[in-house]
Structure 1
């Protein structure tokens, strides 16, 4: 399986999630625009980030920046907490463009492996990750306030106490340049905002300031698929989320996910998943 773009299933109003993964399953090379922190709670974990193999031990943390290509090898008897969040989770303070760039730069500059941090700092971040995970799992009343507070505290610790790396040109360039990643993020944001509407390649090319020809080449070169295939895949990911989390009739799911007709939705879904939307839902939940 080749490199693919992942769409973490994040709540638009609260774009973060925390979950556990056991290490027995291979996760193929992929990337996403969200920040990801890995905290190994059991055993040893083998992964790779931007083609660099990494082995993590129990208690260690690794920060994966948005745009970093990463994968996980089978690591039996291991377990990890995964925290994923979009930087927009910090936007209630109306960050200026300069402040937003500084926030992105923080995650680019931070030394990613906790075994290179002071041990007390690593323990503190691990504790914050544990609380964030427990609160996200239990979802008691007011859990979002606790999670948001811990995210901000973690941000302060990363900024103040975690060592930074001096970035040269080679370090600035991961699998995608930061400039290209920012353009891709603009494209993703546009699709997120308009996926329920008709979207054309020309509209998005104009939005990011490119000719349709250059936009087509840039997108295919960096994503490995055409832009319209990406839009279709995005709508399918939204449809799957609705099917798994809501009791919305399938006819309405098509509209909510941005498909032009129920027939188009059924055809696209069955081609991608091998089953109809209704059968997909029933396979997961049984005949309810």
Structure 2
């Protein structure tokens, strides 16, 4: 089964994109520039301690080496993510690595047109890469042209939202330590975790570790652990037939009562009700690297992509028709000129 995802690796041009279902918090810190587009539902994004609420169609763009986490605010929240290596922009702008940026599509009307183009372009590219028919070399070249348009739109947004990178070596080291602590939690969240253990992993005091979690994610250490357990539980409720009591134990909750209470507080549904509603959605997914990728045969997501991608297609068709009309008119004028010349020669 194919899924909504693709990777392009051509020297400096390194981009990848996927569509996945968002659940509870998962911290990320990587070297890619990330653009996230909400296709369905609503979510909360925490970027370097700042929290942004995004609704359907909203987009957010943030720089590489930028700690961030997403939290679904509605069930079945789905997003498209686009990653690009910063080295692509560095070949045009030697100061690019000095920039830090966070841009939300709803916060700056001056770049709203760029975000509109990005939605159309990203949908068009994803449709191309998940098409089940054979694509010609010429069509692939045209899609690559759309990718360059995406990158130029991204760069224009960056220029409008950038600020000087003040990250010192000390702060970068702190980011790496925090990533190590989060990775430890990701691997051991089913166990009984103490703040002291996580503090030792990062080499900090318990007090400083507690402050660091609050500053980086906007939530406490215990809340992060709880959300990791809830994330695993939600995935297992949808993708297995395990009993609720077994899922609670497997995910690290002390008992089923504590699990039910935490789950209902977060998802506003009991685990059993969540499972039943999820089964009615009948969405095909695959779980890899903490991401629940959406199948490319999903009719709802295909409909969203087709709607946005068709705008770009219609504009291209309109342009091609205009070009054809112009060329046809030039050709007719040329023929008339030739016929007039022949007529003049006959009269002479």
TM-score (norm 1): 0.48
Higher relative contact order (CA 8 A, sep 6+): 2
Q: Max radius of gyration: which structure?
A: 2
TM-score (norm 2): 0.41
